[in-house]
Copies of this chain bind each other. A is one copy, B any other.
Amino acid sequence: MELKRAAEGEKGFEKVFAFLRERLLAGSLKPGDRLISERELATLLGVSRPIVREALRALTVLGIVEIRDRIGTVVTRPDVSVLNDFFTFALAQQADMLDDVMQARVAIECQAIRLACDRANIADFERLQRALAKIGETIDEADAGGMADFEFHRAIVVASHSETLSVLHSSMAGLLTHSHRSRRELVQGFPSMKTYLIDDHRRIFEAVIARDPERADATLRKHFAIGDEYRRRAVVGDIDKTSASG
């Protein structure tokens, strides 16, 4: 009943995790810094090494820290790829989460395209144009087509020059691309699909070129809405009897 671990009232793992989180959030531990050794950390916090390892492993899967064999533990620049892990698991067991995440993606992209209208440079325009061209070229290929589609949308976010939006977007994209392929196949049969894909993206591109945030946002938003509509119809088996471009 010593007051040793009652210091924070936390259990061992929590104690270590909280200790590290504190410094991480406060900024006293920045990317590139090397943590003190596991043994030191253990004695410092009055816990055993396995517990310290649990905490470090936890931070590792969160992409906050990297444990380098025989070197030490260093703080890394957070990497979105972690989210891929999560989404992979999550998606496997809960497909209904897709629509919800999609909403977040729409949010990010619509904001990104507004910023892009203001901040995009020549290189961004060129990247968009290349992606647009690729969409046209791969219009008949489900796989490559999906990739081209993704690259276009990715280019929009990149053009926003916002690190945060970029991070958020790529984390969602990882999850969504999985479903994208099947969705695309589902929708492949619609003749009007090609027109929709090409024209829509071209209109979006033009709005960015025109540096018109309102139009770009609206066009992109409509693009997503139409995509949803297509998918909805494909699900109910409504075989192409519309141009659905409104």
Contact = CB atoms under 8 A, between A and B. Distances in A.
A78 B31 CA distance: 28
Interface in A72-115: 77-78, 80, 82-83, 85-86, 88-95, 97, 100-101, 103-104, 106-108, 110-112, 115
Interface residues of A, number: 52
Nearest to A104: B164
Contacts of A27: 92-93, 95
Contacts of A85: 62
* Best-buried of A13, A77, A89 by chain B (most CB within 10 Å): A89
A36 interface: no
Contacts of A111: 103-104, 106-107, 110
A50 interface: yes
A84 to B, nearest CB: 11
A85 B95 CA distance: 22
A131 interface: no
Contacts of A167: 90
A245 to B, nearest CB: 20
A96 to B, nearest CB: 10
Contacts of A50: 50, 53-54
Contact of A162 (B90, B104, B115): B104
A97 B97 CA distance: 29
Nearest to A101: B164
A30 interface: yes
Contact of A88 (B25, B63, B83): B25
A127 interface: no
Q: Which 7 A-B pairs have the closest CB atoms?
A: A107-B111, A78-B90, A50-B50, A58-B61, A54-B57, A104-B164, A100-B164
Given A50-B53, A61-B61, A83-B171, 13 more contacts: A24-B89, A24-B93, A53-B54, A62-B89, A82-B86, A97-B163, A97-B164, A100-B163, A103-B162, A104-B168, A106-B111, A110-B110, A168-B168
